[in-house]
């Protein structure tokens, strides 16, 4: 894969799509000390009084990987014990512990509703510096050299711009528009490479008894999978920097008008947006798409496994498009997202947490994650390690960049401590008012301009 080209060109962002699965069980216990990890006879590692409390998001990937990798770690590290708390709403469970100064030792936080807790930890500088973990060479090379190029240097892993790593990369997703490959193959429908071609397919969609587009209406953050690559397609890194760094003028420029104009066009065109979309949660919208009620939907590489038991139209097969370009001949783009693992600064057993984090990046763990979660980590060659356990469609999505698909992403700059704004929520949740035709594009622009101006002022005041 052309990772150097892809991931060094732009920043890499944390996963913002909202994943959901059944409620998770939990078992909590106070961690048992901070003794350093040593090596016992025979090379197996053990930790005196080594109890580790971890909190993990239980979403589309489930929790089985975490149960299995913890068991394997404990076998290889005699004397250790790992307690797992897992839930789709993991932030609600760990927030009281964090406030009380007794956080879990290690946390995997994902899912749109949970991510603000990471923003808070970053703002409060309440995370452990992980740089030494990634710089240490255990004899097989430094761990940082195993990561996809550009990931550790991104704002999402090194949020303060000082080169120090506070968030560790985990599962790597490729996100864009999906379609029913069987329908396209049988009807000889060509996938669109430009936005003009996509909107021209509205008649084809209608002829096949479906709307052109739907999305996870109650979670409009999914639309970033369309928006971020489109910003980059039109305005390059300069426009992305404006968007993510709170330049108010972004909301008065042509890039905004064209990108958000496209989003609004789905709602304004007859048959452009599936009826009822804005009121649907992610599983409802995704099921409707699979049942043939819409031609396209945004989602990520977890989509196929997450919806493996959902009803669908006869012969349905997942197809991945990426995001069309505004101009003919330009490369098709897709969004990349990387989930994160952190060790809170007040973790009771940071040494054991560090040892467990390193274990997560072992080949055994990468394969186990693919087997149990059908996920691919942000590690070189992880897609090939995962190949026996993921579908051909998913594998081909990860390899699509070899055919010229360009991956794009970024992360919002951390707001000032005490800010009343969550810019990501302000930007994406307000889109629902556009799609409901309760707000014009100019009104949306004015609202975002004001918010960016205030966020920028807060940052400036906090630096003085």
Domain ranges for the chain: 11-172+338-390, 174-335+415-463
Domains 11-172+338-390 and 174-335+415-463 equal at CATH topology level: yes
> Residue 377 in 3-state DSSP?
strand
Q: What is the dihedral of CA 290, 292, 293, 294, to 10 degrees?
A: 80
CB atoms within 10 A of CB 163: 9
| Separation of alpha carbons 369 and 373, rounded Å | 5
- Beta-ladder partners of 83: 53
pLDDT of 386 over the 70 cut: yes
Please give, one letter per residue, the 3-state secondary structure of 15-81: CCCCCCCCCCCECCCCCCCCCCCEECHHHCEECCCEEEEEEEECECCECHHHHHHHHHHHHHCCCEE
Average pLDDT, rounded, for the chain: 88
Q: Using pLDDT thresholds of 50, 70 and 90, give the confidence band for residue 400.
A: confident
Domain 11-172+338-390: state its class. Answer: alpha beta
Position 407 scores a pLDDT of 86
Q: Is 430 left (phi over 0), alpha (psi -120 to 50) or beta?
A: alpha
One-character DSSP codes across 293-324: SEEEEEEETTHHHHTTTS---TT--EEEEEB-
Q: Which of 148, 161, 104, 145 is closest to 127 using CA atoms?
A: 104
- How many percent of the chain have pLDDT more than 70? 89
In this structure, whether the domain defined by 174-335+415-463 belongs to CATH 3.40.190.10 is answered with yes
Q: Using pLDDT thresholds of 50, 70 and 90, give the confidence band for residue 297.
A: very high
| Separation of alpha carbons 179 and 69, rounded Å | 34
The two beta strands, 106-109 and 50-57, are parallel
What are the pLDDT digits (tens) for 406-464? 888 888 888 888 899 999 999 999 999 999 999 999 999 999 999 999 999 999 998 87
Which token pair is 157? 């892993």
Contacts of 410 (CB under 8 A, 6+ apart): 10, 11, 12, 13, 155, 228, 240, 243, 244
Residue count of the chain, please give it: 464
Buried b (16+ CB within 10 A) or exposed e, 37-49: beeeeeeebebee
pLDDT of 325 over the 50 cut: yes
Q: Using pLDDT thresholds of 50, 70 and 90, give the confidence band for residue 62.
A: confident
What are the pLDDT digits (tens) for 7-29? 333 333 333 332 222 223 333 33
pLDDT of 154 over the 80 cut: yes
One-character DSSP codes across 126-172: -B---HHHHH-B-SS-BGGGGBPTTTTTSTTTSTTSSS---SEEEEE
Q: How large is the average pLDDT for residues 243-264? A: 97
Q: Which of 449, 416, 464, 10 is closest to 246 using CA atoms?
A: 449
pLDDT of 258 over the 90 cut: yes
Rg (CA), the chain: 22
Count of alpha carbons within 13 Å of 185, Cβ hemisphere only? 8
> Residue 335 in 3-state DSSP?
strand
Q: Which helix (DSSP H) or strand (DSSP E) does residue 255 occupy? A: helix 254-268
What are the pLDDT digits (tens) for 69-107? 999 999 999 999 999 999 999 999 999 999 999 999 999
CB atoms within 10 A of CB 127: 22
Position 49 scores a pLDDT of 55
Contact by Cβ (8 Å): 234, 258: yes
| Separation of alpha carbons 412 and 14, rounded Å | 10
Contact by Cβ (8 Å): 169, 369: no
Cα distances from 337 to residues 15, 21, 219, 250, 302, in angstroms, run: 5, 19, 17, 23, 12
Position 35 scores a pLDDT of 33
Percentage helix, strand, coil, to 5, in the chain? 45, 15, 40
Q: How large is the average pLDDT for residues 45-54? A: 74
Q: What is the dihedral of CA 194, 195, 199, 200, to 10 degrees?
A: -30
What are the pLDDT digits (tens) for 160-209? 889 999 999 999 899 999 999 999 999 999 999 999 999 999 999 999 99
């Amino acid at each position: 894969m052309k990772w150097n080209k892809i991931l060094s060109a732009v920043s890499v962002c944390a996963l913002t799509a909202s994943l959901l699965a059944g409620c998770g069980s939990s078992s909590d216990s106070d961690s048992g000390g901070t003794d350093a990890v040593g090596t016992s006879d025979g090379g197996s590692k053990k930790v005196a009084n080594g109890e580790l409390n971890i909190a993990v998001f239980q979403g589309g990937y489930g929790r089985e990987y975490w149960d299995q990798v913890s068991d394997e770690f404990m076998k290889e590290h005699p004397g250790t014990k790992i307690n797992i708390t897992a839930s789709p709403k993991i932030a609600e469970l760990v927030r009281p512990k964090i406030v009380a100064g007794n956080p879990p030792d290690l946390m995997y936080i994902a899912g749109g509703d949970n991510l603000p807790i990471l923003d808070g930890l970053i703002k409060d500088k309440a995370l452990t510096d992980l740089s030494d973990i990634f710089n240490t060479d255990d004899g097989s090379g430094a761990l940082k050299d195993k990561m996809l190029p550009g990931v550790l240097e991104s704002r999402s892993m090194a949020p303060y711009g000082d080169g120090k790593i506070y968030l560790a990369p985990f599962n790597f997703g490729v996100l864009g528009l999906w379609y029913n490959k069987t329908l396209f193959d049988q009807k000889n429908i060509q996938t669109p490479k430009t936005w003009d071609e996509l909107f021209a397919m509205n008649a084809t969609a209608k002829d096949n008894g479906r709307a052109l587009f739907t999305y996870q209406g109650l979670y409009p953050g999914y639309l970033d999978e369309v928006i971020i690559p489109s910003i980059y397609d039109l305005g390059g890194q300069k426009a992305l920097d404006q968007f993510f760094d709170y330049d108010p003028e972004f909301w008065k420029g042509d890039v905004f008008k064209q990108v958000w104009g496209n989003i609004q066009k789905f709602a304004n065109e007859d048959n452009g947006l599936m009826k009822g979309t804005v009121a649907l949660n992610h599983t409802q919208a995704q099921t409707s798409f699979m049942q043939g009620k819409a031609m396209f939907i945004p989602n990520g590489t977890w989509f196929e496994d997450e919806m493996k038991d959902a009803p669908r139209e006869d012969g349905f097969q997942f197809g991945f498009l990426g995001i069309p370009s505004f101009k003919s001949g330009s490369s098709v783009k897709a969004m990349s997202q990387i989930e994160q693992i952190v060790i809170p600064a007040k973790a009771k057993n940071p040494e054991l947490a560090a040892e467990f984090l390193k274990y997560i990046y072992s080949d055994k763990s990468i394969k186990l994650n693919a087997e149990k979660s059908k996920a691919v980590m942000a590690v070189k060659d992880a897609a090939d390690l995962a190949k026996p356990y993921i579908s051909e469609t998913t594998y081909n999505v990860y390899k699509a960049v070899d055919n010229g698909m360009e991956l794009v992403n970024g992360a919002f700059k951390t707001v000032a401590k005490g800010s009343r704004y969550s810019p990501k929520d302000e930007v994406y949740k307000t889109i629902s008012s556009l799609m409901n035709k309760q707000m014009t594009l100019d009104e949306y622009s004015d609202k975002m301009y004001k918010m960016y101006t205030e966020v920028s002022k807060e940052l400036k005041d906090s630096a003085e």
